Amino acid sequence: MKRIILLLSVVFSCTFLFGQKSISKPNIIFIITDQQRSDALGCMGNKTVISPNIDKIAEEGVTFVNGYSTVPSCTPARAGLLTGMSPWHHGMLGYGKLARKYKYEMPQMLREAGYYTFGIGKMHWFPQKALHGFNGTLTDESGRVEQDGYVSDYRDWFKLNAPGEDPDKTGIGWNDNKSGVYQLDEKLHPTYWTGKTAVELIENYDQEKPLFLKVSFARPHSPYDPPQRFLDMYEDRKIPEPVIGEWSHYLDGVKGDESAAFGDFGTEYAIESRRHYYANITFIDEMVGQIVQVLKDKGMYENSIICFTSDHGDMLGDHHHWRKTYAYEGSSNIPFLFKWPENTNAKLRRGSVLENPTELRDFLPTFLDAAGAEIPDELDGESLLKLVKNPEVSWRSYIDLEHATCYSPENYWCALTDGNWKYIWFLRTGKEQLFNLKTDPEEIVNLSESNKPELEKWRERMVDHLSERGEGFVKNGKLVRREETLLYSPNFPEDNRTENERVNDWHNIYKGID
């Protein structure tokens, strides 16, 4: 009897002291931003950016400096995240609509593993209130309406808290590269809503199940619209200028409108866009700090995985390119931070920096591993916990990148990188680029003509990578130039549209909407 009383008192004490009921599986707090390039954080070496709370996640976990988004635009990146698969296997090779249902889906698999699953912020799924296994979602889609009658939860909340006001009062489109100050109270900004909603859910969480919470901020994706308070923090900070590669001077002097994907708008214009972009990241950082603090207040922090990443980057004028869909680092290299629970049998020192090539597909197998659930052999991702438990474990040598035609006919490419070298194959033109990322991280000099041995090595790797796609991509051991864009692979589920219908749908979606 005394033993029973003692056991009950221990359970009661743990619940009282630590808030969350005792659970064996870790909580998983997955924080993702939209369109954040990897170098837009203090912990990634950019001392201009004010990001102490996100940097703290790096200090208490691991930074993967070669983290990539395989298909660097919103929806295909999120398909890889959702399914744990490579582009050819989940079926999206460029920007289009996600399938309604996949064989493997992160929220559903974690729910089946015993988690309470909830998503807050930008999902960018179709239909827009699809759950894919979440117990619930509260969404913010930046005003995007892709189905009749859809109104995001953020927009409804905005009407409740600012009747008659215009959430788009700042007047900058969500694909514009110009910048401006948010014209309403900062507590009406979508960044505030997303962060505070996540805080509120954690405050109210009292389940015996572990929590899987996806917190998806719609910024720093344009509009570059920080509240004045955050912009003031950057008044005297030196903003890095855009870099222009030797190969990109053909765009010198090219002008376009404020949503142009390519354009030379001048150095000062790009600097101001970056200043506002960084200020939006600092706003996000403040909300991340509040999320972490409430986890600590609830006694959930020590038993939580916390991840911080983005779906893709933003060129911000580098090489006269804007937005994303490119193979270059500003577009494809993303923040990739992972903090593990205290009870993990880790050999990796907290605060470590690893160069292993990682990708969004790696998060699903990581979470399944942490949950003690089976990782299907069909998943292309790898568990990051393998590296935490043994940094010397075997890992992939390089990662694949690609994007179907977007913005211009020539922008149709596949690439490979190990974080040291990057090889890019342009499928329509047959052009190649080769960059030494160790000596030339800004991709200024194309070495495809001057380093033939390295070029041939990576070209052969590309042949091997694309071979499973058939003679439309590789024939007789040679890369094949393509006249037609393939947007969806044969593995895309539940899609019986013709290819022309798919491409037309993609163009209609992408025009000014992403």
Q: If 0-12 CB within 10 Å is exposed, 13-18 middle and 19+ buried, where does residue 376 land?
A: middle
Residue 266, number of CB atoms within 10 A of its CB: 12
C-alpha 288/C-alpha 297 separation (Å) is 14
C-alpha 107/C-alpha 371 separation (Å) is 12
**Amino acid at position 408, single letter:** S
Residue of 74, 307, 406, 414 with catalytic role: 74
12 Rama class: left (phi>0) / alpha (psi -120 to 50) / beta? alpha
Is 124 annotated in the active site?
Answer: yes
**Amino acid at position 219, single letter:** R
* Tokens representing residue 382 in the block: 């790898």
* Tokens representing residue 352 in the block: 């470590």
**Concatenated DSSP letters for 226-279?**
--HHHHHTTTTSPPPPPP--GGGGGGTT----TT-SB----HHHHHHHHHHHHH
Residue of 89, 90, 124, 221 with catalytic role: 124
Please provide residue 430's backbone torsions phi and psi, each rounded to the nearest 5 degrees. 80, 5
* Tokens representing residue 384 in the block: 């990051």
* Tokens representing residue 205 in the block: 């969480």
Q: Which of 499, 453, 449, 458 is CA-nearest to residue 479?
A: 458
Is 406 annotated in the active site?
Answer: no
512 membership: H or E segment, kind and range: none
Residue by residue, what is the 3-state secondary structure of 394-446? CCCCCEEEEECCECECCCCEEEEECCCEEEEEECCCCCEEEEECCCCCCCCCC
Give whole-number Cα distances, 313 to 35, 159, 326, 351, 402, in Å. 4, 31, 9, 23, 14
* Tokens representing residue 413 in the block: 């490419």
Residue 415, number of CB atoms within 10 A of its CB: 26
C-alpha 242/C-alpha 288 separation (Å) is 28
| Residues sharing a CB contact under 8 Å with residue 9, sequence separation 6 or more, in sequence order | none
10: Cα separation from own chain's centroid: 41
Pairing of strands 421-426, 62-64: unpaired
Q: Which of 430, 510, 420, 441 is CA-nearest to residue 478?
A: 430
Q: Residue 314 in contact with residue 36, Cβ under 8 Å?
A: yes
Active site residues: 74, 124
